[in-house]
Structure 1
C-alpha cells in the first residue's frame, strides 16, 4: 500500500503527515484501518475530513473486480527471455507473478545478463521494462549495441530504448517510495509493463542482528514486490550477491556440487528471511573468458541443480 503523501488529499499537509508518521501511521492502509478518534487526536482534522480521506483511499487503493478470463490470460503469458537455453531452464521463460533472483560473485555477469534480458524483451514487444539501478550498472551504450546486433535501424533502436525506463536510487526509502508509486502507475497501465529489474539489493540492505531498520525495510520491500508481481502478473528480477564461507557443513539449500571450491560454501546475501522470498533463484558463475554457467538453485516447477552454459558478451548471449 502506498505511503501517505499530499497527492492523496489536499488535507494531508506535510505537518499532518509528519504527525501521523510519528505514530507509525505511514501508509494508506495504516490510515484506513486506524480508528477515526485516534486520527482526530493526532492530527486535529475534523471527523468529516478524515472520513472523506478514508473513502478516497479506499476507492483508489481498494480491491477491484477482475474478469476471470482476463485474469487467466494475464497469468498464462510467459515472457520469453529470447535465450533458448535459459527459457528451457525456466520452463518456457519468465512466469507472470513470479519473483526471480539472480545471484553470483562480483564480475560474474549479473548486470550484463540483466541488460541482455532488457534489450531482448524490449526488442520483441512494445511493453515497458523498468530497470531500477542502485549501483549505476545500467549502460545505455550496451543496450544500443545489443539492439544493433539484432539488425535494428536507428529509428527502431530509438523506439525500443524509449520502452526502457531507468531509475537510479541510493536508499531503501527511495526504493520503497518508487515501488509504492509503481502501484499507481500499473493500475492505469498494467498491460504495458512487461518486466521489473532491481539491480542490485546488497548495496541498499545491510542485514545484521543489530540492524532492525534494514530488516524492517526488507520486509516492506518483499511485501510490495509480492503485491506488484501477483496483482499485475509481472515478473520481477532481483540481483543479489553471494557470500563464501570456509566450513565443512553445507547449511544452505543449494544443490550439491554448487561450491566454488571444495572448502567453500556459497550463500545468497541478505540472510535467511530473504532466502524464502524469491520463487526462483539462479546462480551465475564465471567459468573463463565469456563463458558462464547458470544453475537453478531454487524452483517450485523445475529440477533444482539443473544448469546451462552460455557465452555472454557485450552484444548478445549464445
Structure 2
C-alpha cells in the first residue's frame, strides 16, 4: 500500500494536470501524498489547502481508494439495470451498472431532464422491489410527466399498478450544496428507515444549479471542498449499497481564452461546468447532443465521452416523444 501510485482514480481532484505537478516534485505514491504538509502540497498542486485536506481525508477514510472492496467486486458481478430504452441499453452494454456513477451532460434544453424522467419511470416500473431516488435541485421534476410516460408506454396499465410505480419514485427537493452533500452522506452511512430498502437508481438533476451559488464566494476552496465531499459520498453510497447513480451536468460553449487551455473540449466545441477537477469524477460521462441537421423529430444523440468500460465515441440515437425518450 505504501507504493500505491497516485492516479486520477484515487480522487476526482487528482487530475492529470495536478498529477503532473506532483510527479515533478517526486510525489508519486498515495503514502507520500498523505504524509506531506498540506500547505506545501497546495503550493505544488495550485490548489487551496482546504481542498488538499479534503483529498487527504478521503484517501485515509477510504483506505487510499485503490483496493477494490468486496462490495465493488460484487457490483461488477450483478446484472445491469435496463433503462427501458433499447438503443441506450445496447450502448451501455445492457443498462446501468450498479455501483457505478454516470454523468449525463448537455447544453440547456438538450433533453437531459426528459431522459431523467424516462429513466425514473422505466426503472421504477421494472424494479418494484427497490425504489428510485430522484433529487431535484431546480424544481424540474414532474409527477404528471412520469404518469404520461407510463400511460403512453403501458396502455393496459391498471390504476393500481400506476399508483405503485409512482409511489416507487421518491423525490426530494434540495436547494443548497450543503444540504445535498449532507443528504448523500447520510445515505452513504445507511441512515434510512429500517424497512426502507436502498434504491436501485439515484438521479440528481442537476449539480451545477447548486454550485453556481458559489460564484460570488470569497473562499476559492469552498466549492471544491463541497464537491469533493459529494463525489466521495456518492462513490461510497453507490458501491456499498449497489446503486446506479446518474448525475446531470451542464455543457457550455468554449471561449477563446487562456483558461480553456487545460480543459477538455468536446468535438462539438463545448466543455463541462463545475471546473477541471470534476472532469474525472464520474466513471462514465454521456453527452446529449442535437443532430447537426436540424429537424422537428426531437432526435438526440447520446455519445460516450468518458468511460472506464465503454468505447469512447460510441453513440446511440434517441427521440423525445410523449412517451418520454424512446
Q: TM-score, normalised by structure 1?
A: 0.71
The answer to whether the Cα contact below 8 Å between 1:240 and 1:268 also exists between their aligned partners in 2 is yes
Question: Deviation at 1:184?
Answer: 2.4
| 1:169-223: CA deviation from partner (whole Å, max 9, x where unpaired) | 1001111221122232469568541100000001111367953211111111011
Give yes or no for the alignment of 1:129 onto 2:135: no
The answer to whether the Cα contact below 8 Å between 1:186 and 1:232 also exists between their aligned partners in 2 is no
* Match among 182, 190, 205 for residue 184 of structure 1: 190
2:88 corresponds to: 86
SS in structure 1 of the partner of residue 190 of structure 2: helix
2:18 corresponds to: none
How many equivalent residue pairs?
A: 247
Give yes or no for the alignment of 1:229 onto 2:238: yes
1:148 corresponds to: 151
Distance 2:242 2:98 in 1: 5
Distance 2:190 2:127 in 1: 22
Question: Deviation at 1:250?
Answer: 7.5
SS in structure 2 of the partner of residue 145 of structure 1: helix
| 1:146-186: CA deviation from partner (whole Å, max 9, x where unpaired) | 11112212211100000000000100111122112223246
Distance 2:145 2:290 in 1: 19
Question: Deviation at 1:307?
Answer: 1.3
SS in structure 2 of the partner of residue 144 of structure 1: helix
Unaligned runs of 5+ in 1: 1-29, 34-67, 260-264
* Match among 185, 196, 210 for residue 204 of structure 1: 210
* Match among 149, 154, 157 for residue 162 of structure 2: 157
* Match among 67, 83, 98 for residue 100 of structure 2: 98
1:314 corresponds to: 322
Do the aligned partners of residues 304 and 74 (structure 1) sit closer, same or farther apart at CA in structure 2, a change above 3 Å counting? closer
Give yes or no for the alignment of 1:244 onto 2:246: no
Unaligned runs of 5+ in 2: 1-56, 61-69
Do the aligned partners of residues 124 and 309 (structure 1) sit closer, same or farther apart at CA in structure 2, a change above 3 Å counting? same
Q: TM-score, normalised by structure 2?
A: 0.69
* Match among 282, 286, 305 for residue 282 of structure 1: 286
The answer to whether the Cα contact below 8 Å between 1:75 and 1:97 also exists between their aligned partners in 2 is no
297-306 or 177-186, which moves further after superposition? Answer: 177-186
The answer to whether the Cα contact below 8 Å between 2:71 and 2:239 also exists between their aligned partners in 1 is no
* Match among 268, 271, 284 for residue 267 of structure 1: 271
The answer to whether the Cα contact below 8 Å between 2:72 and 2:239 also exists between their aligned partners in 1 is no
Do the aligned partners of residues 190 and 279 (structure 1) sit closer, same or farther apart at CA in structure 2, a change above 3 Å counting? farther
Query: Bigger relative contact order, structure 1 or 2, given CA contacts below 8 A and separation 6+?
Result: 2
Do the aligned partners of residues 194 and 158 (structure 1) sit closer, same or farther apart at CA in structure 2, a change above 3 Å counting? same
- For the aligned residues, what is the CA RMSD? 2.8
237-246 or 113-122, which moves further after superposition? Answer: 237-246
Do the aligned partners of residues 251 and 307 (structure 1) sit closer, same or farther apart at CA in structure 2, a change above 3 Å counting? farther
Distance 2:167 2:305 in 1: 34
The answer to whether the Cα contact below 8 Å between 1:186 and 1:193 also exists between their aligned partners in 2 is no
Distance 2:322 2:160 in 1: 21
